[in-house]
Structure 1
Amino acid sequence: MDFNKFKYYKRSLGDRYDGWRVRKVDTVFRVIPYFLRTRMDSQNFFEEKLQIDHLEAFIKKHKDEMPDLSIMHIVIAALVRLFSQRPNLNRFVMWNKIFSRNHLNISIAVKRSLTDEGEETLIKPFFMPADTLGDVVKKIRAELDANQKVGQKNDSDAIAGLIGKLPDFLLRFAVFSLLWMDKVGIMPKIINKVSPWHCSIFLTNIGSIGVESIYHHLYEFGTCSIFVAMGRKTRENVIDTAGNIETQKSIMLKFVLDERVCDGFYYASSMRMLNKILANPEQLLTPPEKVLIDEGVGKKRIN
């Protein structure tokens, strides 16, 4: 697992190893994190119904070149593309300050077997803003191959198992120490790398087990500012423009967002852009024409 850091700016005083301080920000947004001190205080909720008939046709068309391709891959690739054009989404708040993340990663919950007793683990592939759908499929497959075997422990499982063996008083102290170190930016990098809560997006595809989408809370530990839940496929009858009744398939995407990283208009505009990307998945087969960076960092770009 590698950070795949963006090399846009030099690190300077006030930055973290996982992000640059956002200094060029509206006064109101500079103050808001001091009043809304936690992510639980700052959650906004969005939902989008995604029509998937055209996505299923797209998957069928490209199944030979990408055998693993699924709707989840397309959604993840669309989110990666969205972040390449709307970089403020890749921010997080820590210790009342706003930071721009210097990498792009998505934590994904994975069931090793579809049973009540089946082990669950988390993978966290790292992406680059210019990644295509093919790149996304390959990176997710590589992570799954390394973590899918029942009984196999990845780094996240190993560290969680180690901490979980501590007696209560030591566990309480260890967790307090990690929370404090993360807040001030000195938590060991290995914890950041394996922690599923230090990510650009946390995504769960609960539709894969036949469950409808839910609004999932954000976490206080870590840096995740966006949680996305994908629901199960549903069918509904709709009336087309000619007045005929037709059956359409869709899934519900539900988003929980930290409102401190950018304003509601920016989020709403981003959701509209995501809809446009998903309406035309062919564009995900090639890199974006350009990648935008977070100008709020306010530094001279070095790359």
Structure 2
Amino acid sequence: MNRRDGIRVKNLDAMHVLMPYIKPNRCDSDVFINQLLDVTELVKYMDNLKKKEKDITYFHLFMTLIAKTIYNKPLLNRFVVNKRFYDRKDVSIAFTAKVNYEDKAKEILSVIKIEENDNLFSIKEKTLKAVENVRNAKESGTNNSMNIIAKLPGFILSPVVGIIKWMDRHDLLPKSLIDDNLYYSTCIVSNLGSIKSGAIYHNLTDFGTSSILATIGEIKEQYVLIDGKQEKRYLCEFGINIDERIADGVYFVKAVKLMQDILNKPESLEENVNEKIRETTKLKY
């Protein structure tokens, strides 16, 4: 039986059929991927792009990079709920934004849907609009619902959350609690480079359907050894937490290598996100 947000996957091999029974919880099935990506060509591209696109940021480039990777590696858009596998019906990327950087500033959730004909510039506009709504404190239905539920006393809050989690597993939650909820996105992204931090690992949650959480560190210039010679390159650390049940290790490695292929030709970010990228890094068996 399909869900509102996903199509049931049935043609699975025996290992994947059994995995949700062996590891029923998403937070017990996450694997951590630490990858230092070479963004030298991206930095050059950004320097030129800034001359005509004043409001563009590295976050917009990385959002598009992730979207292109997901469209090229569709198993990344899969999720497991109630021991069943589903292919998500759309691609969405979630992020959190603070009204300001003060310690007590509110943190508001934002989700943008990525259509197959989106590209760097349309994703930039969608992201800017979402951030503007945050800055203007125009909270989404999910944020409003959370505020109401959080005001309940503890002895009521615990069973209420239990009911919500049961409804979540059985696809019974109202649309207002799902549409703008980061836990129902393809990937949750945190741009820690914007606060001069390195990438970290953040746990997945058993609530919702999100199978990937990625953090992006600060871009740094470093010396690397290439063909026996030291060269200065711009590097960026990615910390990726992913539900191992949705695909296999080789698939995840190929997805990361595809990200590097895209970064080596950053002009491809201007193309539609569903454009197929030629994989130049081949795995040897």
Q: Same fold (TM over 0.5)?
A: yes
Instruction: Please state if 1:129 is matched with 2:113.
Output: no
Given the alignment, which residue of 78, 87, 96 partners 1:100? 87
State the secondary structure of the residue aligned to 1:109.
strand
Partner of 1:16: 3
- Match in the other structure for 2:240: 255
Letter in 1 for 2:162: F
Say whether the 8 Å CA contact 2:38–2:260 is kept in structure 1. Answer: no
Is it true that 1:31 corresponds to 2:21 in the alignment? no
The residue identity in structure 2 corresponding to 1:238 is: V
Instruction: Look up the SS of the partner of 2:183 in the other structure.
Output: coil
Equivalent AA in structure 1 for residue 259 of structure 2: L
- Mapped partners of 2:225, 2:74: distance in 1: 37
In the TM superposition, what whole-angstrom CA distance separates every residue of 1:143-193 from its partner, at most 9, and x where no partner exists? Answer: 1121123x5533332111100111212211221111101101111111111
Structure 2 letter corresponding to 1:186: L
Aligned-pair CA distance for 1:247 = 3.1
Cα displacement (A) at 1:110: 1.2
Q: CA offset at residue 72 of structure 1?
A: 1.6
Q: Stretches of 4+ moved more than 4 A in 1?
A: 239-242, 288-292
SS in 2 for 1:17: coil
Q: Is residue 277 from structure 1 mapped to residue 269 from structure 2 by the alignment?
A: no
Aligned residues with identical type, % of pairs:
26
Measure the CA separation in 2 of the matches of 1:102 and 1:189. 15
TM-score with structure 2 setting the length: 0.91
Show the counterpart of 1:68: 55
Q: For residues 255-302 of structure 1, what are the alpha-carbon distances to aligned partners after superposition, in whole Å with 9 as ceiling and x for unaligned?
A: 01101111111111111111111221101112257579xxxxxxxxxx
Corresponding residue of 2:28? 41
Write out per-residue CA displacement over residues 61-81 of structure 1, whole angstroms, 9 at most, x where no aligned residue: 122443222222111111111
Answer whether contact 1:81 1:130 (CA < 8 A) is retained.
no
Structure 2 match to 1:51: 38
Higher deviation after alignment, 137-146 or 56-65: 56-65
1:207–1:113 Cα change, 3 Å: same
Give the CA deviation at 1:239. Answer: 4.4
| Cα offsets for 1:108-150 (capped at 9, x unmatched) | 121221222332212101111332111111111111121123x
Matching residue of 2:103: 116
- Contact kept in structure 1, 2:35 and 2:237, CA below 8 Å: yes
Q: Which is further off, 154-163 or 256-265?
A: 154-163
**Coordinate RMSD, CA, aligned:** 1.9
In the alignment, is residue 143 of structure 1 matched against residue 156 of structure 2? no
Show structure 1 runs of 5+ residues with no match: 1-13, 293-303
Aligned-partner SS, 1:224: coil
CA distance in 2, matches of 1:78, 1:220: 26
In the alignment, which residue of structure 1 is the partner of 2:181? 195
- Segments of 5+ residues of structure 2 without an aligned counterpart are 278-285
Deviations 1:35-67 (A, max 9, x none): 100012111111111223322221121224432
Distance in 2 between residues matched to 1:186 and 1:256, nearest whole Å: 27
Instruction: Tell me, yes or no, if the aligned pair for 1:213 and 1:253 is still in contact at 8 Å.
Output: yes
The one-letter code matched in structure 2 to 1:252 is: E
**1:175 corresponds to 2:177:** no
Residue type of the alignment partner of 1:233: I
> How many Å separate the matches in 2 of 1:155 and 1:291?
35
Secondary structure of residue in 2 paired with 1:235: strand
With normalisation by structure 1, the TM-score equals 0.86
Matched with 2:146 is: 160
Classify the secondary structure of the residue corresponding to 2:178.
Answer: helix
On the 8 A contact 1:84/1:130 being kept in 2, the answer is no
Amino acid at match of 1:138: E
- 1:296 counterpart residue number: none
